[in-house]
Chain A
Amino acid sequence: MSKYTIKITLLSDTTFGRGDGVAGLVDQEVEHDRYGFPYLRGRTLKGLLSEECDNLVAVLSDENQRQHWQKISNELFGVPGSTLGTQGKIHLGDACLPSDLRTEIAAQIDSEEKKKQNDKKYKPKLTSTDILESLTTIRRQTAIDTETGISADHSLRSARVILRELIFESNILFETELDENSDDDQDMLALLTVGTLALRRIGSGRNRGKGHVKCSLYDSAQEITKNMNYIQRFGRNK
C-alpha cells in the first residue's frame, strides 16, 4: 500500500461549510467533529482535486495527449457509478489537524466529560466549544444595495471561519503499491502532484477572498510537489 499526505496550509480565513448553521448564532457553520476540531471532508477534497486535474487536462492542446491524461485521471479518481472496473485507485481521507494534537485534546475533553458525569456540579476545564471557538471566529457581512450604496435590508449574514495559518493533513492511500517502473503509476502520481499544486482555493466564498490555501504533497520521505520530474512529466506526449 502506498501512502501519501496532502498538507493544506490556510493562507486566509476559510470556511469548510457543512451546509447548515446554528440558530441564533451563525448562519454558516464549519464542519467539525465532536471535539470541536474543524476538518475538510475527504469527499469534498476529492471533488476539488479531481476538478483541478480535469481543468489541467482540458487545456492540453494535443488530442492524443489529452485522451491519455484523461484516462489517467479516470483511473486515479474513478468515474461515476460503482463497478469494480470504474472504481478509483485513490482513497482520500478527511483533512484534519495533526492527529497527535487531536488525540491528546480528545483525551483531555473525554476525561473532563467523565468527571462531569461522575459529579454533576463539576465544571469542565475544557469543552469542545472552547476548542471550536479557539480555532475559528465568526465573520459577518451584508449585501450593498447598488442604488442606495448602503447595506441592503435583511442581508446581514454570519459565517464561521477557520483561522488562517492552520495546517490540515489528509492521507492519500493506494491499495496497491505504486510501481516506480510503471509509466501509468508514475503518470498518476504526476497528475496528483500538479493537481495538488493547482488547488489554491477551498471552501465557501473561495472566489470572494476566503479559502486561499497552499497545498503540498508528501510521501514518507520528502515533499513530492517540489520534485520537478513529476511536474515536467505531466502533459508529455505518449
Chain B
Amino acid sequence: MKAVTFLLHTQQPILATSLQGDPNSDVSHPYIPGSMIRGFLIGRYLQKNRIKVNDDTLDIQQLPNVKRLFFDAKTTRYLNAYPLIDNKRTLPTPRSWYKDKGVTFSEDKEKTIYDFSKIPLEEQKELTNDYEENLSPKLLEENFCLVDEDEVLLYKVKRRINIHNKRDRKRGKGIEGSGAVFSYDAIDAGQTFQGVVLCETEEDQSIIESLLQHKDVWLGGSQSAGYGHAEIQLLNNNHEYYEVESASRERIENQANLTVTLLSDTIIYNECGQIVSNPETLRQILSDALNQELKFQENGIYASSIIVGGFNRKWGLPLPQTPALAAGSVFVFENIDISSDKFHEFLDNAKKIEKQGIGERRVDGFGRVIFNWLNEETEEYKAKLFNPEFQTTQQAQNKEPLKSESSKIAVGIANRIVRKKLDDLIIQQVSKISLTNPEEISNSQLSRLMLVARQVLYEVEFEQTKYENERRSITELVEPINNLLHNLPSNALKQFERSKLTENIKQCLNVEDSWLQNVWRSNPETKHLIADDQPKVIIAGEDKDIDTYITLEYSLRLIIAVVKKIMKEKNND
C-alpha cells in the first residue's frame, strides 16, 4: 500500500472530543481521529490552491484532485493517528485480551495477559475454576499495544483534565444563563502519535506530503486558547506500508483459523439500511466481500459497541451520531475450507478488505480490519507498560546554559527548599531541647537575651542581602550576644549558669562545628541532600549550601524559639 506516514508531536493538549462524559465536559478520544487529520489537510489544500469558500470543491472539471484526495475512500483514506512507542505505531488493544482482576501493569514487571480468542472454552473454564489459577478475567484499561511475539508493550495515553468556567463579559463573573463550569479531558502534551494517509498513486502521495511540510498544526477544539498545537514530522515513505508487521498472505496462509480484528471503530449497515453494531451483520458483510461463507466459532465474538460522531468545522455543526463496533473487537471464524483454486481469490479479497476497510466513513479512518493479526498459538502474553525513557532527560542533555532569569529562579527555588528543610529541623530541634533547671532563670533575663538575639538576627538577615565581600564577619555580628553573656551582673550570671543556658548558647553559636550541619546529616528527611560532602540542594545546576551566615541565622532562630518555649512552659506551670 502506498502511504504517507508522519508523526504528530503534541505541544499542547489536544481536544479530540468523543461522545462521552456529562454534558458539561468534553472527553477526548485517546487518539487523533483520521477525520481531524483530513480536516486540517483540506484546510491547507484550500489555502495552498487559493480555493475560495464559495467554490464548488466537488466540481471535477474545475478541481479534478479534490474529490479523489479528500472525499473518495476508494482512493484516499486518513487513518487515525495512534500513539507511537519504540518508533512503531501502536494498535488498539484486542478485546479478547483479559487480565486477572486486580492486576495492574507496571513498567518493570511483566504480567500475564490471556487471549481468550485462542483459549478453548473448556480451558477458559479451567482457568477460572482452578484453585491455583483462580482467574477472574477483566478487560484491559490500556487502549494501545505493541506486540512482539509473546511480549506486549501496553500504552495508556496520558490525559490532562482542566476545569474551565464561563464568565459573563459585562459582569465579569458567571451568572445565571451566562456562566458554566465545564471540564476538558484532553490528550496531554508531550506525546507522539503516528498518522497514516493511504493513497493509490505517487502523485497523490506527493501532494499530501507537500501539505505536511509546514510543521505547525492546530487540531481539535479550543485551538486559539491553549489547546491543539502539534508539530508534524514527515517520515520516509518510500516503501510498502502495512498496519501490522507482515502482509496478509503470510498471515492467512500460516494459520488455520480466521480471526478478524478491528483496528478502528467500524460503522456498518444491515440489509434494511440501518446502522447497527451487530456482529452478525459484520459476518454477512465479510462473507460477501470474501465470497466465502463465514461461521462464527463458538465463543468467538469479543466485541463492544460505541457511539461515534464528529464535527464539521465548515458547517459549524456536529455530525450525526451513529452506533459502531469498537476498535479492538475480535471475531473468530471457524476453519474455512478453501480449495486451492479459490484460495487465491480469497487472498485477493482479504487483501482488498485490509487495504480499503469496510463500512462507512472509511475516508476518515473508520472500518480498518486485519486478518489473523496475532499468532494463533500464543495464548498468553507477557505484558508491561511502555517506559517513555524520560524524554525530558534526553532534551536536557542537549541543553544550553540557563538564561540569567531562569538561573535566578533556580537559585530562588534552591534557597527556599533549603530554608524549608531548616525550618523543619528547627521545629524538631526545639522539641528535643529542654533545660535542666528552667525555673532558675527569670523571665526578665530571658527577655533580655531574646531582645539581643532578635537584634543580631535582624543584622544577619540584612548582611545576607549584601555581596559576600561586603558583609561583616560572623565574630563581629555575634559580638552583642557575647557582650551580653560577659557583662552580666553576678545574679543574672548565676541564673544563666544554673540553667545551663550559657553553655547551650555558646554551643549554638559555634558556626565552625555547627549543630545545624550535624542535624542535617543525621535527619532522615535531609541526610540524602549532601553533595561534595556538604549539605547542599542542587536545582538545575544551581546549588545552595548552608553557609556560615545561614547557620548563624538559624542558630539565633533556635535560641529565640528555645527561650520562648521556656517562657511558655514557665507560664503554664
Residue numbers of A with Cβ under 8 A of B are 1, 18-20, 31, 41-47, 51, 54, 77-78, 81-94, 97-98, 100-101, 103-108, 110-111, 113-114, 117, 123, 125-126, 130-131, 133-135, 166-167, 173, 175
Contacts and interface: CB of A to CB of B under 8 A. Distances in A.
B446 interface: no
Nearest to A107: B396
Q: Which residue, of B181, B221, B402, B539, has the highest number of chain A Cβ atoms within 10 A?
A: B539
B252 interface: no
Contacts of A90: 224
A120 to B, nearest CB: 11
B15 to A, nearest CB: 10
Contacts of A92: 224-226
Nearest to A118: B108
Contacts of A114: 390
Contacts of B163: 18-20
Contacts of A42: 12, 225-227
B413 A135 contact: yes
Contacts of A100: 399-400, 402-403, 406
Given A97-B409, A114-B390, A175-B216, A105 B223 contact: no
Contacts of B390: 107, 110-111, 113-114
Given A105-B540, A133-B420, A41 B400 contact: no
A167 B395 contact: no
B249 interface: no
B222 to A, nearest CB: 6
A7 to B, nearest CB: 10
A199 B455 CA distance: 42
A88 B223 CA distance: 9
Given A43-B227, A92-B225, A92-B226, A83 B420 contact: no
Given A114-B390, A134-B416, A101 B43 contact: no
Contacts of B53: 84-85
7 contacts: A42-B227, A103-B396, A104-B402, A104-B406, A106-B392, A126-B537, A167-B405
A107 B417 contact: no
B479 interface: no
Contacts of A107: 390, 392-393, 395-397
A86 B314 CA distance: 10
Nearest to A48: B167
Given A54-B169, A82-B311, A84-B313, A104 B541 contact: yes
A199 to B, nearest CB: 13
A51 B169 contact: yes
Top 5 nearest A-B pairs (CB, nearest first) are A42-B226, A83-B316, A107-B396, A101-B406, A134-B416
A106 to B, nearest CB: 4
Given A19-B163, A104-B399, A125 B227 contact: no
A111 B12 contact: no
B221 A131 contact: no
Nearest to B398: A103
A115 B528 CA distance: 13
B529 interface: yes
Contact of B528 (A125, A130, A166): A125
Given A85-B53, A131-B413, A104 B396 contact: yes
Interface in B378-417: 390, 392-393, 395-397, 399-400, 402-403, 405-406, 409-410, 412-414, 416-417
B164 interface: yes
A9 to B, nearest CB: 11
A101 B393 contact: no
A98 B43 contact: no
B108 A87 contact: no
Contacts of A97: 406, 409
Interface of B: 11-12, 43, 53, 107-108, 162-165, 167, 169, 172, 181, 216, 218, 221-229, 311, 313-316, 390, 392-393, 395-397, 399-400, 402-403, 405-406, 409-410, 412-414, 416-417, 420, 524, 528-529, 537-541
Nearest to B163: A19
B224 A91 contact: yes
B229 A91 contact: yes
Contact of A134 (B43, B167, B412): B412
A137 to B, nearest CB: 9
Nearest to B181: A19
A83 B229 CA distance: 18
Nearest to B399: A104
B529 A82 contact: no
Contacts of A133: 416-417, 420
Given A93-B12, A107-B390, A175-B216, A45 B396 contact: no
A125 B529 contact: yes
Q: Which residue, of B108, B399, B537, B540, has the highest number of chain A Cβ atoms within 10 A?
A: B540
B139 to A, nearest CB: 27
A43 B399 contact: no
Contacts of B412: 134
A203 B405 CA distance: 23
Given A54-B169, A101-B406, A111-B390, A82 B316 contact: yes
Nearest to A113: B390
B416 A98 contact: no
Q: Which residue, of B165, B172, B413, has the highest number of chain A Cβ atoms within 10 A?
A: B413
Nearest to B216: A1
Contacts of B43: 84
B221 A82 contact: yes
A91 B218 contact: yes
Nearest to B47: A176
A44 B181 CA distance: 13
Q: Which residue, of A44, A82, A104, A108, has the highest number of chain B Cβ atoms within 10 A?
A: A104
Contact of A46 (B216, B224, B316, B409): B224
